[in-house]
Amino acid sequence: MNRINQKLEEDKKLLSIYFTAGYPNINDTVTVIENLEKSGVDMIEIGLPFSDPLADGPTIQASSTKALHNGMTSERLFEQLKNVRKTVSIPLIIMGYFNPMLQYGVEEFCKKCQEVGIDGLIIPDLPVDVYHDNYKSIFEKYGLINVFLITPQTSEERIRYIDSISNGFIYMVSSASVTGSQSGFGDAQTEYFQRIANMKLKNPQIVGFGISNNETFMQATKYAKGAIIGSAFVKHLTNSGVEKVDDFVTSILT
Amino acid sequence: MNRINQKLEEDKKLLSIYFTAGYPNINDTVTVIENLEKSGVDMIEIGLPFSDPLADGPTIQASSTKALHNGMTSERLFEQLKNVRKTVSIPLIIMGYFNPMLQYGVEEFCKKCQEVGIDGLIIPDLPVDVYHDNYKSIFEKYGLINVFLITPQTSEERIRYIDSISNGFIYMVSSASVTGSQSGFGDAQTEYFQRIANMKLKNPQIVGFGISNNETFMQATKYAKGAIIGSAFVKHLTNSGVEKVDDFVTSILT
Amino acid sequence: MSYNINEKGYYGEFGGAYIPEMLYPNVEELRQNYLKIMAEPSFQEEFNALLKDYVGRPSPLYFAKRLSEKYNTKIYLKREDLNHTGAHKINNTIGQILMAKRLGKNRIIAETGAGQHGVATATVCALMGIECIVYMGEIDIARQAPNVARMKMLGATVIPALSGSRTLKDATNEAIRDWINNPVDTHYIIGSVVGPHPYPDMVAKFQAVVSEEIKSQLLEKEGTENPDYLVACVGGGSNAAGTYYHYLDNEDVNIIAIEAAGHGIDSGESAATSVLGKEGIIHGSKTLLMQTKDGQITEPYSISAGLDYPGVGPMHANLYKTGRAEFIAITDNEAMKAGLDLCKLEGIIPAIESSHALAVFEHKKFKPDDIVVLNLSGRGDKDLQNYIDYFKL
Amino acid sequence: MSYNINEKGYYGEFGGAYIPEMLYPNVEELRQNYLKIMAEPSFQEEFNALLKDYVGRPSPLYFAKRLSEKYNTKIYLKREDLNHTGAHKINNTIGQILMAKRLGKNRIIAETGAGQHGVATATVCALMGIECIVYMGEIDIARQAPNVARMKMLGATVIPALSGSRTLKDATNEAIRDWINNPVDTHYIIGSVVGPHPYPDMVAKFQAVVSEEIKSQLLEKEGTENPDYLVACVGGGSNAAGTYYHYLDNEDVNIIAIEAAGHGIDSGESAATSVLGKEGIIHGSKTLLMQTKDGQITEPYSISAGLDYPGVGPMHANLYKTGRAEFIAITDNEAMKAGLDLCKLEGIIPAIESSHALAVFEHKKFKPDDIVVLNLSGRGDKDLQNYIDYFKL
Ligand SMILES: Cc1ncc(COP(=O)(O)O)c(C=O)c1O
Ligand SMILES: Cc1ncc(COP(=O)(O)O)c(C=O)c1O
């Protein structure tokens, strides 16, 4: 059973953290992963940096630019992750844009993911249909869960369709926006979280975008299975470095 | 008999000098006239300054601008010339553009000219036809000779027409150009001077434009009755002031 | 009574050719030939083909919906701003360059204020491979920099006029001086309906295509050739002459001429010739001009380089004197505001000259079913810096 | 075989909609409605009326006599430079603003490179009274200052894109981010035949008026609808798409696409996508793009802001892949020289983008009786400073 599915079965609200591979320094990737696990995080999204991350806000974009500048590539990432499963056991997801994967070769990319112990992928610009028609079988062959996004604007019909072809969790974007652009949730979000909860989907939902502290984490996980923090953590890395990961996670959970 | 006609009957080549009234200083007008006569000049053209002297080059234009700035007006000029005939006996001509005369009233202007002892007018932008149809009788009433220009481009037919309505001399522009733009005469000019001489016009010709020293004065008067110097004299006034008029005239005549 | 020119080259008592003898052969050659040449089928054909394929005529007659709503009347804009080079000026320069060629000239001179006429002249000279010299006041060179750059790109020589107010009037003086100095091979392409006869008439006839088009376009859109009002700004008056031309003697159509009041009629810094001018001679023509009581030509002022001229063409002097046209003076401020308004309401950035015309709607109330045709004589690209500075955008 | 789009939104293997889910509702709404709306008689009527009366269409097909003589072939210029706002871009923005209105949107965003699309968008927004935000790379803001000024005059908000190469690619990223953040009331007016389906097709259809006009104009002038060659520059590819549209499947007509080689194909500073690009995903579309072997998008370079883009639209990727079009890469230097040449020979100052297309004549020899139709996509007013600096005029 995939580590993601296992984790989702645990009876707790999950905290998932996003960070950009090769940031702040090229060799920080595994350190950050290890420190996150040690701090009690449930799941990690490893950002494969992209030159033109159009679903991301300035914070993550800046970290991607830095990481690329540091020399991060798909090849290098797999190299760094070669032994990660010797020390880390929580689910690891690669989050990245489609073009670098396409250039690597989608099948080759998936194969490498399996080899190093990646459990799933989040590819914001790979549409559900294209995935379904062209890549689903490859992902499955290598035991990878592909995670799709929904937003407050996604129609019920489409949510059900996405639920039907998902086999891990649904990435519930808190509000239609790029990463890092919200602070705090209002009535609209609560209403949306509730609406989705009421749909009783087969896949659990994890909320992303706009979570930055304990308060928003609690709000987000009131109706959902878990929450993902990205920009706030990347900012913390920028300001406090890889050794203080613990502080950040503690501040979210308590 | 008009002083101009009298002068033209003298058996000599005539030197006529142009200067701008009220230049360099507002009250220099009569001084310049007196000094010119004393230096042996045969005829004087008193420039009535105009804001937009489009047949004049930079030297005369600058002197006009200065004179206007000094406060020169038609009224003021007539005022200055009120007693000029007490001291000066050579022919005096006013050279000016038509608009200031029009505003003064053409008849009034002519009347004043007669009163102060002006003998003729040169108005570059008053065309022959308009003069003939509208103003000839007024000029004649006040005993004024109107002087017309011809250029190397003027057709023979038109020269004969201009000759027919002239009653003093013809102002022969040495080459088609604004004042002050030539230095020295070439074959084309000589050929032109000769051609006009051969036409045996009833009015004598006086050459203007481009005469600046003894050499050009001699060339110009080889075929013509006289020559007019403008820019070169105005430059001399600018550099040497009204007291040194004598030097200039001497340099031309010897 | 006709408001057009008579055989002697006069509109009423205005016009004529008050030129130094040095210009006589040139002007006379033109006078004797211009009507004949313009009537030649080969001339007509070449002129019309260039207007269509090169200039982009007909220029649209655009119903300005949002502007009309704002002023509760029916406003049509004659889009001369869409012409090649961005103003009505090119209609005239196309005509004159064809004229110059047929007169055997191989050197062209021009004066320019806003630079539009300079650009239009440089353009047709490039098109025909003829040398081009443009005189432009030093002040105008500074305030219409984009057009100076364009003239250079087109291979023209731009010579600054340094005398007087260093604007259009002085550039015209310099051009005339050049023509005096080059009497044989040079044609002077005057940029407006000014100068000695036959220029005002020739330029008006080249610009007349504007009203010719208005007639058929309005017929198509409104079922009538006749608007209730024609509106145009008047610098020298060429875009206005083109707009009025075919309606001059049709008194069903009201004519409005807009002049530049600068800082205000009584401010001493103005270019509103009809109010401030008197009869006199400027640049070879008897017309209305701003002058001292002593007959010296006054230095005009307008924020708009194309209207910064102390005279108007003799056609307009006559339209004023006879009362055929209503003259309205618009200040810098009013014009700038009207210009920005057009940007915001219609997505069209007008030349500041044209903005003066547009300000008519704040000055005069039209009836809801009045049809007002306004000549949008040029686009505002040349004026961007002025607008930006003015509005601190 | 058709070179047009298929029902799935692909040209051959290129196209599609590779977009984040956040954009799905917007893009899907557009995909479902665009053909239906475009087919509505009221849409057609409004679109065509604005193209005629506001934009000034048809744009002339001008036989460039002196240019043709120089290169000993028959050169026709399609004068998109004469359109309102000075380039072909307005054809598309007129179409899209009408589309946006019918979709009930009340806020418009756009990206721009040369600023022409930004100006064209700001213009139609002013015309319709709709809020407008334009993203523009910081570098492009500096090198196309006149267009920035124009957008401000028209009331648009210009937001600098500070990331990446700070040019068109990055402005597009920012615009997409804005759209993600404003998914309900906002329509994104993309300026070229790029982006997710249905944009490439929709923009091509709005630009198709260009080839529609060429057909009838050429028939009138040459007795045939078919030129031997069509030439256009390709940034994203919209002016080219419009030029080719009605000839795509007519293989009697040769198609030439001109790309920007910058300092040279092998210089590392170039934007010649067909030579340097590989298949990949950019801005929601599978197409050719310049990228590292690792799939990072390369920062392109061209002196021309409108061609400074690392991809081409999917139509063009397919035309390249299939060999239907010949692709030629032109350096900065070649383009600038060709631009100045057009000024001097024809009195037309071209946009630097269009100058790239004009350089074709130094690269390829045409036969004396070949008919070559070249899209003069824009005028060079926005580029004056660049030309002047480059040539030290
Ligand atoms: C756009 C525009 N409109 C109007 C004028 C004024 O000239 P005219 O009165 O001859 O039309 C100019 C002169 O440069 C101009 O550029
Ligand atoms: C004048 C001009 N031509 C061409 C282009 C390139 O765009 P496209 O390839 O979409 O025609 C631009 C873009 O701004 C432009 O302004």
Q: DSSP class of residue D309?
A: -
- Measured distance CA(C240)–CA(D179) in Å, rounded: 47
- Mean pLDDT over residues B29-54, rounded? 97
Out of B56, B108, B246, B247, the active site residue is B56
Number of H helices, E strands in chain D: 17, 14
pLDDT at D315: 98
Residues of C in contact with B53 (CB under 8 A): 173
pLDDT at B188: 87
Q: How confident is the model at residue D165 (pLDDT cuts 50, 70, 90)?
A: confident
Q: Angle, to 10 degrees, between the axis of helix C199-207 and the axis of helix C209-222?
A: 30
Q: Is there a single domain that holds both residue D102 and residue D156?
A: yes
Q: Does C164 touch chain B (CB under 8 A)?
A: yes
Chain B, nearest residue to C172 by Cα: B54
Q: DSSP class of residue D72?
A: T
Residues D378, D86 contacting (CB under 8 angstroms): yes
- Measured distance CA(D302)–CA(D322) in Å, rounded: 26
Question: The tokens 């789009």 sit on which residue?
Answer: D5
Interface test with C, best of B61, B65, B73, B99 (most C CBs within 10 A): B99
- Measured distance CA(B209)–CA(D281) in Å, rounded: 77
Residue C116 in contact with ligand 1 by CB distance below 6 A = yes
Chain C, nearest residue to D84 by Cα: C82
Q: Do B102 and C278 touch (CB under 8 A)?
A: no
Q: Which residue is closest in CA terms to ligand 1's atom 14?
A: C306
Q: How confident is the model at residue D204 (pLDDT cuts 50, 70, 90)?
A: very high
Chain C, nearest residue to B75 by Cα: C294
> What number does the ligand 1 atom closest to the CA of C241 have?
11
Per the domain annotation, does D3 fall within a domain?
Answer: no
One-letter amino acid at A108 equals: E
Residues of A in contact with D170 (CB under 8 A): 52
Identify which ligand lies nearest to the alpha carbon of C257. 1
Number of H helices, E strands in chain C: 17, 15
Q: Among A230-244, C71-85, D41-55, D161-175, whose mean pLDDT is lowest?
A: D161-175
Shortest Cα distance, chain C CAs vs residue D208, angstroms: 19
pLDDT in tens, B59-84: 999 999 999 999 999 999 999 999 99
- Mean pLDDT over residues C238-248, rounded? 98
Number of separate domains in chain C: 2
Q: Average per-residue pLDDT in chain B? A: 95
Residues of B in contact with C291 (CB under 8 A): 99, 103
Catalytic residues of A: 45, 56
Return the domain boundaries, chain B.
Answer: 13-253
Shortest Cα distance, chain D CAs vs residue C388, angstroms: 7
Q: Is there a single domain that holds both residue D16 and residue D104?
A: yes
pLDDT at A183: 65
Residue D119 corresponds to which tokens in the numbers above? 């100006």
Per the domain annotation, does C6 fall within a domain?
Answer: no
Spell out the residues 6+ positions from residue D193 whose beta carbon is closer than 8 angstroms to its own: D199, D200, D201, D203, D204, D207, D236, D237, D238, D241, D313, D314, D315, D316
pLDDT in tens, C109-149: 999 999 999 999 999 999 999 999 999 999 999 989 999 99
Residue A93 corresponds to which tokens in the numbers above? 């997801």
Q: Does C130 touch chain D (CB under 8 A)?
A: no
3-state secondary structure (DSSP) of residue A174: coil
Q: Which residue is closest in CA terms to ligand 2's atom 15?
A: D306
Identify which ligand lies nearest to the alpha carbon of C357. 1
pLDDT at B182: 62
- Measured distance CA(C229)–CA(C223) in Å, rounded: 16
Shortest Cα distance, chain A CAs vs residue D133, angstroms: 17
Q: What is A13-253's CATH number, 3.40.190.10, 3.30.1280.10, 3.20.20.70, 3.40.50.300?
A: 3.20.20.70
Identify which ligand lies nearest to the alpha carbon of C89. 1
- Measured distance CA(B232)–CA(B249) in Å, rounded: 11
- Mean pLDDT over residues C162-178, rounded? 92
Chain B, nearest residue to C19 by Cα: B125
Residue A70 corresponds to which tokens in the numbers above? 């540091």
pLDDT at D252: 97
The candidate with the shortest Cα–Cα distance to C62, out of C366, C254, C355, C348, is C348
Q: Do chains C and B touch (3 or more CB pairs under 8 A)?
A: yes
- Measured distance CA(D208)–CA(C360) in Å, rounded: 39
Residues C23, C268 contacting (CB under 8 angstroms): no
pLDDT in tens, C194-221: 999 999 999 999 999 999 999 999 999 9
User: Which residue among C139, C169, C203 closes a domain?
Assistant: C203
Three-state SS across D158-198?
A: EEEECCCCCCHHHHHHHHHHHHHHCCCCEEECCCCCCCCCC
Identify which ligand lies nearest to the alpha carbon of C349. 1
Q: Is there a single domain that holds both residue C159 and residue C235?
A: no
Q: Do chains A and D touch (3 or more CB pairs under 8 A)?
A: yes
pLDDT at C143: 86
Q: Do B103 and C294 touch (CB under 8 A)?
A: yes
Question: The tokens 């019918």 sit on which residue?
Answer: D102
In total, chain B counts a number of residues equal to: 254
Q: Is there a single domain that holds both residue C371 and residue C235?
A: yes
Q: Is there a single domain that holds both residue C308 and residue C243?
A: yes
Q: Angle, to 10 degrees, between the axis of helix A231-240 and the axis of helix A58-70?
A: 50
Per the domain annotation, does C311 fall within a domain?
Answer: yes
DSSP code string of B240-252:
H-GGGHHHHHHHH
User: Which residue among D203, D235, D253 closes a domain?
Assistant: D203
Say which of C59, C126, C388 has its CB closest to residue D149. C388
Q: Is there a single domain that holds both residue D165 and residue D277?
A: no
pLDDT at A181: 65
pLDDT in tens, B128-156: 999 999 999 999 999 999 999 999 999 99
Q: Do D291 and A125 touch (CB under 8 A)?
A: no
Q: Is the pTM of this model over 0.80?
A: yes
Per the domain annotation, does D5 fall within a domain?
Answer: no
Q: How confident is the model at residue C165 (pLDDT cuts 50, 70, 90)?
A: confident
Residues of C in contact with D381 (CB under 8 A): 86, 146, 150, 381
Question: The tokens 């009537």 sit on which residue?
Answer: C39
Q: Does D390 touch chain C (CB under 8 A)?
A: no
Q: Average per-residue pLDDT in chain D? A: 97
3-state secondary structure (DSSP) of residue C347: coil
**Residue C93: CATH number of its domain:** 3.40.50.1100
Question: How many beta-carbon pairs below 8 A join chains C and D?
Answer: 122
Q: Do C153 and D84 touch (CB under 8 A)?
A: no
Rounded to the nearest angstrom, the distance between the alpha carbon of D239 and the centre of ligand 2 is 6
Interface test with D, best of A178, A196, A205, A231 (most D CBs within 10 A): A178
pLDDT at C335: 98
pLDDT in tens, D34-48: 999 999 999 999 999
- Measured distance CA(A125)–CA(D321) in Å, rounded: 24
User: Which residue among C178, C203, C228 closes a domain?
Assistant: C203
> What ipTM, to 2 d.p.?
0.95
DSSP code string of C69-119:
HHHTSEEEEEEGGGSTTSBTHHHHHHHHHHHHHHTT--EEEEEESSSHHHH
Q: Do B103 and C164 touch (CB under 8 A)?
A: no
Rounded to the nearest angstrom, the distance between the alpha carbon of D353 and the centre of ligand 2 is 6
Residues of the domain holding D44 = 11-50+89-203
User: For the CA atoms of C273, C278, C284, C285, what is the dihedral angle to 10 degrees?
Assistant: 80
Q: Do chains D and C touch (3 or more CB pairs under 8 A)?
A: yes
pLDDT in tens, A109-130: 999 999 999 999 999 999 999 9
Per the domain annotation, does C259 fall within a domain?
Answer: yes
pLDDT at D393: 87
Q: Does C362 touch chain D (CB under 8 A)?
A: no
pLDDT in tens, A146-199: 999 999 999 999 999 999 999 999 999 998 667 766 667 888 888 999 999 999
Q: Does D369 touch chain A (CB under 8 A)?
A: no
Shortest Cα distance, chain B CAs vs residue C23, angstroms: 9
Residue C93 in contact with ligand 1 by CB distance below 6 A = no
Q: Is there a single domain that holds both residue D133 and residue D20?
A: yes
Q: Is there a single domain that holds both residue C348 and residue C226?
A: yes
Out of C89, C105, C205, C382, the active site residue is C89
pLDDT at A162: 97
One-letter amino acid at B187 equals: D
- Measured distance CA(B229)–CA(B17) in Å, rounded: 5
Pairing of strands C61-63, D278-282: unpaired
pLDDT in tens, D119-134: 999 999 999 999 999 9
Q: Is there a single domain that holds both residue D159 and residue D36?
A: yes
- Measured distance CA(C7)–CA(B132) in Å, rounded: 18
Per the domain annotation, does C161 fall within a domain?
Answer: yes
Q: Which residue is closest in CA terms to ligand 2's atom 7?
A: D235
- Mean pLDDT over residues C348-363, rounded? 98
Identify whether B75 is a catalytic site residue: no
The candidate with the shortest Cα–Cα distance to D64, out of D256, D355, D345, D368, is D345
Query: Looking at chain C from residue 325 to 344, which residues have their Cβ under 8 Å from any Cβ of chain D?
Result: 340, 343-344
Say which of D25, D164, D177 has its CB closest to residue A51. D164
Rounded to the nearest angstrom, the distance between the alpha carbon of D315 and the centre of ligand 2 is 16
Residues B26, B71 contacting (CB under 8 angstroms): yes
Per the domain annotation, does C261 fall within a domain?
Answer: yes
- Mean pLDDT over residues C293-297, rounded? 96
**D136 vs D95, D108, D123, D182, CA distance in Å?**
22, 14, 16, 18
The candidate with the shortest Cα–Cα distance to A64, out of A98, A92, A22, A102, is A22
